Chain A
């Protein structure tokens, strides 16, 4: 084993491969770019892991690395991060199963439409709103974890999340 820190890399990768991938995919333009950025994020995790002393939660630390890298990547690419909207079918199924308990085509259609709109609205949401919404609602991080990961006060997370949700709602309804 190369690393002698508190946590082995393979454990971290196993636990965070999906969340990091999801965040990268939400914040980058294409699946290929998300793949590249996710790999680079895990390279940074790999390098930083020997120095990880558990002062922060592992999830916070990983998301902090991911967010910092994705922001830097955006700056390097000279544009705002965007998200992509693919693989909708699986998501639609999930929403339908959550929102619809019966074979009501109309309800299924509404659920699918809502998901489409949310996906589109997320795309147009400013990045600093998108990331808090995603970390809270997509990754189920606590306010404190989000604050640590983004390096902002927890009050900022609360207010930013509220504004983001209002903006998202307005976009969905528009």
Chain B
């Protein structure tokens, strides 16, 4: 059977043919009775697949695993003995750097360039340290919990790991096209990365000065930390007007609330809410996430293509990130998150 005919038969089964195509198929079926049998076999197989689907039942364990999400509250997880052992072993693994870009148009700095910067005396300025908490999991006693992802989550005492020289994870936040002047608009081929980092450090110091105030979400219209972002200087009038309009729009209804960090370690999940010190405004953000004790393999905005639209409006206050960390055992890991404004295309890219 040629592909055209098989597609016609397949579409006929699904009622996807238009009237003319149905008419043509009817004529062909009359002329070729063998096709009727082909069609009938395909129809029986189709019914069988549907029957297989109808026969499936959700195991009760799934409900107990998902129940914490329904309740919306995380619960502590008690690790199994093997996981405790692995947690101890995890202490030997140090953090690594992954660079991703939320806005794919704007490649971020490479791991090498970040490491070079750090060596040049531009260390990360952490604004908050926290410990990853377990993902919400079942309220059942651990011995009654079914094997699943959430019963193998992060928990237990944190490994004794120094945070003295962790490599940062950087996520460059997105903007809609036109909200940020291009480098060409600024009359330069690029902003030296070390200059941006130095300015960012200055911003971080400014944040420290306003600590307490900056750790709460901004009220609508309130001026926030990012107003002092270095990349907002020296802009052309037209661009500035567009930028101002965008900012006003965001200021009118800035996304509020705490940010969330989700971490996937060896396929297991943990999450943590945190309050970014940077107030949500249109702008590009450098998000450095350092998870000591694990090699950060991948970070990405939550949802991927499925929620690309909200990701495009990512702001610090609504920051939601996935991390995937390999070669790490269960355990709690000290981590730090820094959200800072950033320029555009400061580095040659990954």
Contacts and interface: CB of A to CB of B under 8 A. Distances in A.
- Do A and B come together as binding partners? yes
A25 interface: yes
Given A51-B311, A138-B49, A139-B53, 5 more contacts: A32-B148, A50-B310, A95-B51, A118-B52, A165-B45
Closest 4 CB pairs of A and B: A51-B310, A138-B53, A91-B55, A90-B55
Contacts of A88: 55
A169 B147 CA distance: 36
Interface in B41-70: 41-42, 44-59, 61-63, 65-66, 69-70
A2 B72 contact: yes
Interface string A156-168: 0011011101101
A122 B72 CA distance: 37
A48 B42 contact: no
Interface stretch (B104-112, B244-252, B300-308): B300-308
Contacts of B52: 91, 115, 118-119, 122, 138
Interface in B144-167: 146-150
A44 B302 contact: yes
Interface residues of B, number: 57
Given A94-B51, A169-B41, A44 B303 contact: yes
Given A118-B49, A165-B45, A22 B62 contact: no
Interface stretch (B9-17, B28-36, B280-288): B9-17
Interface centre among A31, A32, A40, A68 (most CB of B within 10 A): A40
A133 interface: yes
B54 A94 contact: yes
B31 to A, nearest CB: 20
Contacts of A134: 49, 53
Contact of B9 (A87, A159, A162): A162
Interface in A62-108: 64-65, 68, 73, 76, 87-88, 90-95, 98-99
B269 A40 contact: yes
B305 A68 contact: yes
Interface in B289-317: 302-307, 309-311
B7 interface: yes
Interface residues of A, number: 69
B113 interface: no
11 contacts: A21-B56, A36-B147, A48-B307, A52-B310, A61-B306, A91-B55, A94-B51, A118-B45, A158-B16, A165-B45, A165-B46
B2 to A, nearest CB: 10
Contact of B56 (A48, A68, A87): A87
B6 A163 contact: yes
A92 B267 CA distance: 35
A67 B50 CA distance: 19
Give the most central of B7, B42, B53, B54: most A CB within 10 Å: B53
B304 to A, nearest CB: 6
Contacts of A94: 51, 54-55
A44 B324 CA distance: 14
B70 A9 contact: yes
A119 B45 CA distance: 10
Interface string B118-132: 000000000000000
B294 to A, nearest CB: 16
A22 to B, nearest CB: 5
B320 interface: yes
Nearest to B66: A42
Q: Tell which of B1, B3, B55, B149 has the most Cβ of chain A within 10 Å.
A: B55
